[in-house]
Amino acid sequence: MSSAAAPPRAHVLIAAERLPTRVGLRLALEPEARCTEAADAESAVDAAVRDRPDVCLLGLDPGGQGLRVVSEIVSKVPSAMVILLTSKLDEDEFMAAVRAGASGYLTNSLDPARLPHVVRGAMNGEPAVPRKFVSRLLDELRTREHRRSVVLAGRGRVALTTREWEVVELLLRGASTAEIAVALGVAPVTV
């Protein structure tokens, strides 16, 4: 009689400022996953670089350090799937998280029994996205191709990169340079 090999345990980095949040997430994921924890934005990036987790669950304020941390982790550990957990779902925040490189965006009130499924799905390349936001992603993809260039006085038609378009879109929404830098996870001087 042969037995099937058990799938490898996921390594999950749990980053949240509140200890009860970290403990709750860890308890929901163990024993199916090996968990490490970080208590703030800087230690989350350091732990991700050091430990190379499969999945990072970030319970950090997206409006504060969360988007910057997503961007840093994705750039330094491209193999990691990053899921941002938030207290309240917001469509614009969701799009900013996706642009920063997040593989998921969920409310932190998610049923703890679902967390192992979310982690396994992320490891298999499945996005962890609320269904109500999928249409926004599809609309963005459909319209983005039609907006790839702009006509500038004296220069004719100029093609912009995806990142340049993200900056333009945020400018059109009235965002300041500092707000754009936070939303895109870059330095203000880059904006």
* Each residue's pLDDT tens digit, 21-49: 999 999 999 988 999 999 999 999 999 99
Distances (CA, A) of 47 to 31, 51, 79, 184: 20, 6, 14, 22
Tell how many helices (H) and how many strands (E) occur in the chain.
8, 7
* Each residue's pLDDT tens digit, 80-136: 999 999 888 888 888 888 888 999 999 988 898 999 999 999 988 888 988 888 877
The larger pLDDT score, comparing residue 3 to residue 106, is at 106
Give, rounded to a whole angstrom, the gap between the first and last alpha carbons of the chain. 61
Read off the pLDDT band of 15 (50, 70, 90).
Answer: very high
Two tokens, residue 183: 């939303």
Burial 141-151 (b: 16+ CB within 10 A, else e): eeeeeeeeeee
Angle subtended by helix axes 177-184 and 91-100, to nearest 10: 70
Q: Is the peptide bond before 78 cis (omega within 30 degrees of 0)?
A: no
* Each residue's pLDDT tens digit, 141-178: 666 655 555 556 566 566 677 777 788 778 877 888 88
Tell me whether residue 55 is exposed, middle or buried, using C-beta atoms within 10 angstroms of its C-beta: 0 to 12, 13 to 18, 19 or more. Answer: buried
pTM of the model as a whole: 0.71
